[in-house]
Amino acid sequence: MKNVALILVALASQVAQAQGTAASGSSSTALTLFGIVIFTTLLITWWAARRTASTSDFYAAGGNISGFQNGLAITGDALSAGAFLGLSALVFSSGFDGLFYAIGYTTGLPIVVFLMAGKLRKLGKYTFTDVVCSKLGGNGVRIFSACASLTIVSFYLIAQMVGAGQLVQLLFGIEYSLAILLVGVLMILYVAFGGMLATTWVQIVKAVLMLCVGCAIAIMVLAKFNFSFAALLASAVDLHPKGSSILGTSTMAKDPWSAFSLGLAVMFGTAGLPHVLMRFFTVPDAKAARTSVLWAAIFMNGFYALIFIIGFGALSLVRSDGTFLDAKGELVGGGNTAALHLSRIIGGEVMYGIVAAVAFATILAVVAGLTLSGASAVSHDIYGAIFKRRAATEREEFRIVRIATVVLGMFAVALGIAFKGQNVAYMISLAFSIACSSTFPVLLLAIYWKKLTAFGAVLGGGAGIVGSLALTILGPSVWVKVLGNPAPVVPLDPPALVTVPLAFVLCIVGSYMTSTTRAPEGLLSSAKG
């Protein structure tokens, strides 16, 4: 811990130096709250580290998180900075298009509880791979599930790290690489020392802050329009260059196949995200697992409904104020700053500081959850269960997960720096596409279809991953926007409409081609305590 403290002191001094020379719009309130967020989350980690003594504590907080607490933590895990800043920015620029995403994201968690939450808690131990392997035998399916987890987590993590670097640089005037390093060091500390308990409480704190801030902004925006949402929309239409078309759905009408494909990806992708699924192992039983989804659905759906007001509030008030628009009418500081500028307009420096600090806490909470999920796939699913042939001691697995956390954290920092300035928006979409085309079909069939075999699962899930990757590269998000080609080879974006049926069909075909192999009883755990 002394070495860690030294690293943090050195990093803090560099951050302080960077502040002195920063030309960004950071305020003293924002910087003070930024410091409070770091101090509070490290305090939580210190508290959690004293209570994390076993692999059960590390992976699943000992299964002692209540349904309500886990509901808040799922909310914290799922509401990324992109959900808050990104969607309000999309509404600011395009109107209803941003709301289409927000509405889609609310449809995922209900599917999780209807089909999976209770079953996951009953069948699994620490990761969703446990659930798949409780029904299917062999290391092949375990390796596949762990690799699918790592693939999804990696794409999600890179997108979050690049976004984090840009956002922290903008909010607090810290140089990009230093910002990435700061986020990387903090997430490694949370996960390596505090495990799931620290990660959970960081997510809970962040979720509460985000919900409170969202409600406050929405009320303050509506107050400017005599609490009339219709008046807010009328003002937005008057100020946007596209006029009343921002209220329409012409983007979806131009490409209905992509609209349905996006709908499929966000609806079923949530049920395949490893860092969300892992949360169901932190509660005592299936009943608490379901209760946690109920609270998460209420909080998340409520927050996404607030995006209606926050997004159009930003569109109207930031455009009418004009202070934060450049000569071209673009947002000063980049596309994702609409909600930040809105907070400054309606609540001054104090509100801006609070929103900036909440955005930073959001980044930390999401990357911590992702890192824990990825590290668990390495230590529990791959090392513990395969390389040690399920004979790894608890102490050894504990050591490996900490090493995996540090390596994954360094990997995320390196990739975050490598992707600096590049368009990585497609990576979240890709993560959702892979999740709904690989982990979701495999998990669903493993739970409910007795004839699924390990070969079928690997064939279908593998095709889902490869198909998602290939079609995304050939699609508009990468082929046109990243590689600069004039037209996409595959116009469907995201490719879920093709890859989800493909994965299900190949899972079924592969299963009929091979005989059923069931796992012997008692192979859920890799660790022999």
Partner 1 sequence: MKSPSSPHEEERLGLGLVLTALQLLVYASFVAACSFNDAFITGLKASNGVPYSFLFGLVVIATGAVLTTVYVAVTNRSEEPK
Cα–Cα distance for residue pair 108/222, rounded to 1 Å: 28
Contact flag: residue 54 with partner 1 (CB under 8 A): no
Q: Which is nearer to partner 1, 116 or 170 (CB)?
A: 116
Contact flag: residue 240 with partner 1 (CB under 8 A): no
Quick one: how far is CA 421 from the chain centroid?
A: 20
- Match 């064939």 to its residue by tokens: 459
Contact flag: residue 263 with partner 1 (CB under 8 A): yes
* 86 closest CA partner among 416, 326, 339: 339
Q: Which stretch binds partner 1 (CB under 8 A): 4-12, 112-120, 138-146, 175-183?
A: 112-120
CB of 103 to partner 1, least distance (A): 4
CB of 360 to partner 1, least distance (A): 27
Position among 39, 114, 227, 387 found at the interface with partner 1 (CB under 8 A): 114
CB of 215 to partner 1, least distance (A): 16
Contact flag: residue 104 with partner 1 (CB under 8 A): yes
Binding residues among 441-460 for partner 1 as defined by CB under 8 A: 448, 450
Q: Which is nearer to partner 1, 17 or 228 (CB)?
A: 228
Binding residues among 295-314 for partner 1 as defined by CB under 8 A: 297-298, 301-302, 304-305, 308
Cα–Cα distance for residue pair 66/74, rounded to 1 Å: 12
CB of 104 to partner 1, least distance (A): 8
Query: Which one-letter DSSP state was computed for residue 125?
Result: S
Contact flag: residue 66 with partner 1 (CB under 8 A): no
Q: Which stretch binds partner 1 (CB under 8 A): 83-91, 173-181, 223-231, 341-349?
A: 223-231
**Please, which residues have CB within 8 angstroms of residue 520's CB and are 6 or more apart in sequence?**
137
Cα dist. 187→150, 161, 196, 355, 431 in Å?
Answer: 17, 11, 12, 20, 20
Cα–Cα distance for residue pair 303/44, rounded to 1 Å: 25
Phi, psi of 393 (to 5 degrees): -75, 160
* 88 closest CA partner among 217, 212, 262, 188: 217
* 219 closest CA partner among 235, 232, 209, 207: 232
Position among 23, 230, 327, 487 found at the interface with partner 1 (CB under 8 A): 230
Contact flag: residue 68 with partner 1 (CB under 8 A): no
Q: Which is nearer to partner 1, 246 or 277 (CB)?
A: 246
Position among 6, 39, 50, 287 found at the interface with partner 1 (CB under 8 A): 287
Cα–Cα distance for residue pair 35/38, rounded to 1 Å: 5
CB of 303 to partner 1, least distance (A): 10
Phi, psi of 325 (to 5 degrees): -115, 140
Site string for partner 1, 126-165 (x = CB under 8 A): --------xx------------------------------
Position among 46, 47, 260, 411 found at the interface with partner 1 (CB under 8 A): 260
Report the run of H or E that residue 46 belongs to, with start and end.
helix 28-49
Structure tokens, 188: 């490694």
Contact flag: residue 248 with partner 1 (CB under 8 A): yes
Q: Which is nearer to partner 1, 326 or 521 (CB)?
A: 521
**Please, which residues have CB within 8 angstroms of residue 195's CB and are 6 or more apart in sequence?**
48, 52, 57, 58, 59, 61, 372
Position among 234, 239, 325, 490 found at the interface with partner 1 (CB under 8 A): 234
Count of residues binding partner 1 (CB under 8 A)?
53
Which stretches within 379-495 are classed as H helix? Answer: 394-418, 425-434, 440-448, 454-473
Q: Which is nearer to partner 1, 253 or 487 (CB)?
A: 253
Q: Which stretch binds partner 1 (CB under 8 A): 140-148, 170-178, 243-251, 324-332?
A: 243-251
Cα–Cα distance for residue pair 156/273, rounded to 1 Å: 10
Contact 141, 511 (CB under 8 A): no
Position among 121, 206, 290, 341 found at the interface with partner 1 (CB under 8 A): 290
Cα–Cα distance for residue pair 510/187, rounded to 1 Å: 40
**Please, which residues have CB within 8 angstroms of residue 446's CB and are 6 or more apart in sequence?**
131, 132, 135, 136, 452, 457
Cα–Cα distance for residue pair 429/411, rounded to 1 Å: 21
Position among 222, 252, 406, 407 found at the interface with partner 1 (CB under 8 A): 252
Sign of CA dihedral 488, 491, 496, 502: negative
Contact flag: residue 225 with partner 1 (CB under 8 A): no
SS3 state of residue 408: helix
Contact flag: residue 238 with partner 1 (CB under 8 A): no
Q: Which is nearer to partner 1, 111 or 183 (CB)?
A: 111
Contact flag: residue 326 with partner 1 (CB under 8 A): no
Contact flag: residue 350 with partner 1 (CB under 8 A): no
Interacting residue ranges for partner 1, rule: CB under 8 A: 96, 99-100, 103-104, 106-107, 109-111, 113-115, 118, 123, 134-135, 228-231, 233-234, 244-250, 252-253, 256, 259-260, 263, 267, 286-287, 290-291, 293-294, 297-298, 301-302, 304-305, 308, 448, 450, 521
